[in-house]
């Protein structure tokens, strides 16, 4: 096993197997994965800061097996920050998650083959107060990205109607994520029922396009508006995280105009981005979801109302 010592912001890390291929279809190596995370760190880290992580690790790359890891690995450096998340399933009642607040931790995670980074919707120490409402728009074949995009516009219209601004990103896989920044005062008892009501409303008003239940037999050709992501222990892949797709793709913030352009052109490839494309976009536009980190509205009363079309 080849090992390389590097210093990152005063922390010494031992990187291993940098030449190991993680994406066979493109020959993308572990070293290139780490390099991407270093280069994207200035815009990625604000989306991870303070949020307990679930790591999705692919030690043999996307063609090998993977596993989810919520607990801080016992071999983690002492400087890696953590947060204790209550869990009914844990013997001691809590799970100690990694929190990625800095570049050394991000590099360490990438070296662990954590291709995907899935943070909670809340920040430490106020873990009972989500700062984000999330809708995972998951198309069922033969529906795809464009169908998810059309449903995203419908969700946005309903949210606009109750005064909730929304932002959109690709999942980096087959769907889209619609993100609503919150004021930090609401609880999951507010956000999850609201998301469920909205999904049910859309399933009733657009039964040819939308489904609000997880059952796969109901999803063919429709888009699941997955409200269930809004639970205390649920995580969603972070903006700018890589995905374990056949070729490297990234969960990428886009503008609503870009979505309109893809729908007008009937071209789903306009909603698919690899690491180099994402870095070029950042160089040109910065973080298209920066406003989502800062926007705060008095949302508690809005979430208490039943959405109407």
Mean pLDDT over 211-231 rounds to 89
Per-residue pLDDT at 307: 56
Average pLDDT, the chain: 94
Q: State the average pLDDT over residues 111-128.
A: 96
- Tens of pLDDT, residue by residue over 239-293, are 999 999 999 999 999 999 999 999 999 999 999 999 999 999 999 999 999 999 9
**216, burial (CB in 10 Å: exposed 0-12, middle 13-18, buried 19+):** exposed
pLDDT, tens digit (0-9, with 9 covering 90-100), for 289-299: 999 997 665 56
* Residue 116 pLDDT class (50, 70, 90 cuts): very high
- Measure CA 182 to chain center: 16
Tokens of 37: 């995370």
Confidence at residue 80, expressed as pLDDT on a 0 to 100 scale: 98
Task: Tell which residue, 12, 33, 44, 37, has the closest CA to residue 252.
Answer: 44
Give the residues across from 169 on adjacent strands: 177, 253
Tokens for 59? 């030690």
Which domains does the chain carry? 3-119 (3.90.920.10), 132-303 (3.30.70.3300)
- Per-residue pLDDT band at 215 (split at 50, 70, 90): confident
Question: In the chain, what percentage of residues exceed pLDDT 70?
Answer: 95
Give yes or no for a contact between 205 and 89, defined as CB atoms under 8 angstroms apart: no
The answer to which of 29-33, 153-157, 171-175, 219-223 has the lowest mean pLDDT is: 219-223
DSSP 3-state of 142: coil
β-pair type (176-181, 167-170): antiparallel
Look at 2 and 153; give whichever has higher pLDDT. Answer: 153
The predicted structure's pLDDT at residue 273: 98
**Mean pLDDT for the stretch of residues 33-51:** 98
User: In the prediction, which pLDDT does 219 show?
Assistant: 80
Residue 308 pLDDT exceeds 60: no
Residue 92 pLDDT level (bands cut at 50, 70, 90): confident
So what's the pLDDT on residue 38? 98
Residue with the bigger pLDDT between 220 and 238: it is: 238
Q: pLDDT at position 309, please?
A: 47
Please report where in the chains the tokens 């954590």 appear, as a residue: 114
Taken in order 164, 168, 171, 176, is the CA torsion positive or negative? positive
């Amino acid at each position: 096993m080849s090992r390389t010592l590097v210093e990152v912001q005063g922390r010494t890390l031992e990187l291993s197997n940098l030449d190991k291929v993680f994406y066979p279809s493109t020959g993308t190596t572990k070293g290139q994965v780490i390099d991407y995370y270093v280069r994207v760190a200035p815009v990625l880290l604000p989306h991870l800061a303070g949020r307990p992580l679930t790591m999705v690790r692919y030690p043999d790359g996307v063609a090998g097996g993977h596993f989810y890891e919520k607990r801080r690995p016992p071999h983690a450096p002492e400087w890696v920050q953590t947060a204790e998340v209550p869990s009914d399933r844990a013997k001691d009642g809590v799970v100690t998650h990694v929190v990625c607040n800095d570049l050394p931790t991000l590099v360490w995670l990438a070296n662990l083959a954590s291709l995907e980074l899935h943070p909670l919707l809340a920040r430490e120490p106020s873990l009972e107060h989500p700062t984000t409402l999330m809708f995972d728009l998951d198309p069922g074949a033969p529906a795809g990205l464009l169908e998810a995009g059309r449903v995203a516009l419908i969700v946005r219209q309903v949210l606009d109607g109750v005064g909730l601004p929304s932002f959109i990103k690709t999942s980096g896989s087959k769907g889209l994520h619609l993100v609503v920044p919150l004021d930090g005062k609401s609880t999951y008892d507010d956000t999850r029922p609201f998301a469920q009501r909205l999904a049910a409303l859309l399933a009733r008003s657009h039964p040819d396009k939308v489904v609000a239940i997880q059952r796969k037999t109901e999803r063919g050709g429709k888009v699941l508006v997955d409200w269930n992501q809004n639970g205390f222990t649920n995580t969603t892949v972070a903006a700018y995280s890589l995905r374990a797709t056949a070729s490297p793709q990234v969960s990428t913030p886009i503008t609503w105009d870009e979505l309109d352009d893809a729908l007008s052109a009937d071209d789903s490839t306009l909603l698919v981005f690899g690491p180099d494309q994402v870095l070029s976009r950042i160089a040109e536009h910065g973080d298209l979801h920066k406003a989502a980190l800062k926007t705060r509205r008095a949302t508690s009363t809005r979430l208490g109302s039943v959405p109407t079309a």
